[in-house]
Chains A and B, each alone.
Chain A
Amino acid sequence: ILNVEQSPQSLHVQEGDSTNFTCSFPSSNFYALHWYRWETAKSPEALFVMTLNGDEKKKGRISATLNTKEGYSYLYIKGSQPEDSATYLCAFMMGTSYDKVIFGPGTSLSVIP
């Protein structure tokens, strides 16, 4: 059974704090790793699509790294703002199964003003 795990399950930080969370996935048959942000009452929105070991991507205050050999990805948020409050999902895509995507359970982030 393939498992994608995310930690922590939830996180409460003060505005201005930097934070990071982890996505763990199988280290074999890797094809891609996606990060999504899911705000309450909205649809999940893609943050990053990562495909190569060692990938580092950045969008504003948010960045992500990828280690496919050991099966993990980190998402970093620098200087958290209340609008960053959301659930952050990672999704692992296998190389052997066309379009098979396994989502992690998500990390719920609350940024306290």
Chain B
Amino acid sequence: SQTIHQWPATLVQPVGSPLSLECTVEGTSNPNLYWYRQAAGRGLQLLFYSVGIGQISSEVPQNLSASRPQDRQFILSSKKLLLSDSGFYLCAWSEDRGTEAFFGQGTRLTVV
């Protein structure tokens, strides 16, 4: 069966520090991968999606970036965090376009 792992679960980082959140999927090949963010009081916002290794599409301009160095690994990064980067980040995967997404446990990021 397929599983998705996302870590860390919580993170407190100072403004200006770098960020690296990692997500891995097991039990499937060539998944579509997604990074979402939920800011306080708002819905889920798609940040990045990837349909294959090295293929990253960004939905929202920001100081975040994503990479997919391996088929089932998706990394969310920032060189310098802003206060506005605080939020709840979710990684997800789906088999194909339009099929249901399976979500990781999420990372609560607080930038102080």
**20 residue pairs from A and B, CB less than 8 Å apart:** A4-B43, A31-B98, A43-B102, A43-B103, A43-B105, A44-B44, A44-B103, A46-B102, A49-B98, A49-B100, A51-B98, A91-B44, A93-B97, A98-B51, A98-B97, A99-B32, A99-B51, A101-B46, A104-B43, A106-B43
Is the CB of A89 closer than 8 A to any CB of chain B? Answer: yes
Q: Which of A4, A32, A43, A98 has the most CB of B within 10 A?
A: A43
Is the CB of A105 closer than 8 A to any CB of chain B? Answer: yes
Nearest residue, chain B, Cβ from A103: B44
Tell me the count of chain A residues lying within 8 A, CB to CB, of chain B: 24
Is the CB of A78 closer than 8 A to any CB of chain B? Answer: no
Complex CA gap A51/B96 in Å reads: 14
Interface residues of A (CB under 8 A from B): 4, 31-32, 34, 36, 42-46, 49, 51, 89, 91, 93, 98-106
**Contact partners of A103 in chain B: CB under 8 A:** 36, 43-46
Nearest residue, chain B, Cβ from A5: B43
Which residue of B57, B97, B101, B104 is within 8 Å of A46 (Cβ)? B101
Q: B24-43, CB under 8 A of A: which get 1 and which 0? A: 00000000101010000011
**Contact partners of A104 in chain B: CB under 8 A:** 43
Which residue of A4, A49, A89, A106 is within 8 Å of B99 (Cβ)? A49
Complex CA gap A91/B32 in Å reads: 16
Q: Closest approach, in angstroms, between the C-beta of A64 and any C-beta of chain B?
A: 13
Complex CA gap A44/B105 in Å reads: 9
B44 touches A43 (CB 8 A): no
Q: B87-103, CB under 8 A of A: which get 1 and which 0? A: 00010000001111111
